Structure 1
Amino acid sequence: MEAEETQLLLGIYALVAWFSLYLLIAGVLRMWAAHLPYAHRALITESCVSGVQGVACASVGVATVIACRRDVMGEKFAPAVYYAFIGMAYFVYDLWAMYRSHIAKLSEPEYTVAGVVSYVKKHLLMIVHHLTIVIVFFPTMVYYSPMGHFFLGSFFCTELSTPFVNARVILSRFGYKNSKVYVVNGVLMMIVFLICRIALFPVMYIAYLSQQTTASSHIDALLSIPLTCHLSCLLVLLPQIYWFGLMVKGAVIVLKAGSSEADKDD
């Protein structure tokens, strides 16, 4: 009981910390980047906080995977549990941060019914993704999953791509969209995203099957996994595939534009 109370308090403190970090960065941008439109500053602020969370989460994820790799079904790693509550606090905060960015882009008054409806329509997939992680994924992985923390750490590792995604947004808003740094970051973003957010899922299953010795076959071993685990993986994976598709589509557009410019120069 004491551990659960500590975890809950940690989540509350983390929530305050995420909001405070957002307000701190927003204040710095008001002083040092006042020339940028408010919508740009709001998005940069959201991206900076997201980048911090991505680095922290991925670091805990890598440490957890390394600590639990020899026994993926049984090994536990306490820091992973505590960071789960920090992560839940972040996703709750991020729903508010995304709303702030959305409203800033529309130049509408904050906290209106029309603004909320517009936000939900525009970001429905991301909202469902966040709520699924907070309400279903983290509680299931921390309290109800019979598996070790290797898998929780693996999910944390999906955040390895987040700093690249946010760097892309920040570079764009600061006017570096046509720079080589932006292009290199975009390539790295797609590679890391593919590895850490899509390829990671079959890797987790392979790691499980490689150490599963009680079942008579791999199929029986897969069937022995609780349905909630499969559904959690699917709910997290499907948005990743969709977003990666958008990245590929954007990259194709940029390449076609570059080819057209080259043809004109010739």
Structure 2
Amino acid sequence: MTAALVCGAVVFPGLFFSFRKILKHTWTEWSDADVVSVSERLVSAVHASLATAAGVMVVSSCRDVMTDSHWLVNSFVLFGAPYMVFDIYAMYLSHYHTERTRGGSRAPSGHSLHTVRAFLRRGWMLVLHHVALLLVFMPITLCFRRGLGDFFIGCLFTTELSTPFVSIGKILIQLRLDDSKLHRINGLIVLLTFFTCRILLFPFMYWMYGRQFGIPLHRVAFHLPLQCNVGNLVLLAPQVYWFILLLKKAQRLYLRQRRQQGDKDRMKAD
């Protein structure tokens, strides 16, 4: 178990600094903000891909949703813990360099408590998400489950399926390809994977539990302890919020492209 923790503490910072060095030499015209932002997104995509693969392996291996166990569950939780800590630092670093690149009177002259507070105000939800995974999800998974429910932990790992595509979208914007067909296709994949693996996943887990114990889906919640239902609602709520934000962003992009196409058509007509 300690080996998994140490491995994560080496792999994710190592990937970040490697990506940062490679990008700085490859895209010489990029600012530090561009390099740090893309590096952070690439590491996020790597972690999410590994989490999804681990989740699929666990889910496909567990026949009994309550009692079957898989060694990957605890190992990957420990392996991913250093990523959560490091990603908060990487997000802060991205915020810091972005504000410096923008300039202006509010641009930070150096690292300070003020820049940390500004970062926390702007990205408080993502930081809270990472901290909750470390201080709540990890102890529950490692210490309080009594070896039960590996199937459901595997399901939660698969929620990361949409993250690589979110990262790809951000990188395409960085490459000024936000008006490309590739970006539009990637956006549709983001919406589909996010809705499937972060929202539909919860009724799927209830359905699997009900199927094993012969309980109709609409009655499953009444057969579970209150803390299980509350915990699922706490996990589901931010996913619904983020999905609404994604839908609004997709709508803005669609309307902007329609306006641009309309302007082009008018210019041709003139």
TM-score (norm 2): 0.89
**Matched residue, 1:45:** 39
**Corresponding position: 1:75 with 2:68:** yes
Superimposed CA distance per residue, residues 133-167 of structure 1 (whole angstroms, 9 cap, x where no aligned partner): 11101221332125321100000000111110000
Give the aligned residue type for 1:183. R
Q: After the TM superposition, which residues 114-129 of structure 1 pair with which residues of structure 2 at under 5 Å, given as runs?
A: 114-129=114-129
1:57 to 46, 51, 55: 51
**Matched residue, 1:201:** 202
Gaps of 5+ in 2: 101-107
How big is the alpha-carbon RMSD for the aligned residues of Structure 1 and Structure 2?
Answer: 1.8
Q: Is the 8 A contact 2:59 2:155 kept in 1?
A: yes
**Corresponding position: 1:174 with 2:175:** yes
Which deviates the most, 177-186 or 101-110? 101-110
Distance (Å, rounded) in 1 between the aligned partners of 2:127 and 2:226: 23
**Corresponding position: 1:138 with 2:128:** no
Q: Is the 8 A contact 1:65 1:150 kept in 2?
A: yes
Q: What is the deviation of 1:109?
A: 4.5
**Matched residue, 2:16:** 22
Cα–Cα, structure 1 residues 143 and 225, in superposed 2: closer, same or farther, change >3 Å?
A: farther
SS in 1 for 2:200: helix
Cα–Cα, structure 1 residues 226 and 16, in superposed 2: closer, same or farther, change >3 Å?
A: farther
Cα–Cα, structure 1 residues 227 and 109, in superposed 2: closer, same or farther, change >3 Å?
A: farther
Which deviates the most, 149-158 or 102-111? 102-111
Q: Is the 8 A contact 1:212 1:221 kept in 2?
A: no
SS in 2 for 1:178: coil
**Matched residue, 1:236:** 235
TM-score (norm 1): 0.90
Q: What is the deviation of 1:44?
A: 0.2
**Matched residue, 1:3:** none
Q: What is the deviation of 1:41?
A: 1.1
Cα–Cα, structure 1 residues 200 and 50, in superposed 2: closer, same or farther, change >3 Å?
A: same
User: Could you list the runs of 4 or more consecutive aligned residues of structure 1 that deviate by over 6 angstroms after TM superposition?
Assistant: 217-220
**Corresponding position: 1:251 with 2:250:** yes
Superimposed CA distance per residue, residues 46-105 of structure 1 (whole angstroms, 9 cap, x where no aligned partner): 00000000111100000100001x210111001121001112221111111111111111
SS in 2 for 1:111: coil
Q: What is the deviation of 1:12?
A: 3.0
Distance (Å, rounded) in 1 between the aligned partners of 2:153 and 2:48: 15
Cα–Cα, structure 1 residues 192 and 220, in superposed 2: closer, same or farther, change >3 Å?
A: closer
Distance (Å, rounded) in 2 between the aligned partners of 1:139 and 1:237: 19
Give the aligned residue type for 2:251. V
Distance (Å, rounded) in 2 between the aligned partners of 1:218 and 1:234: 16
Cα–Cα, structure 1 residues 242 and 53, in superposed 2: closer, same or farther, change >3 Å?
A: same
Distance (Å, rounded) in 2 between the aligned partners of 1:57 and 1:158: 9
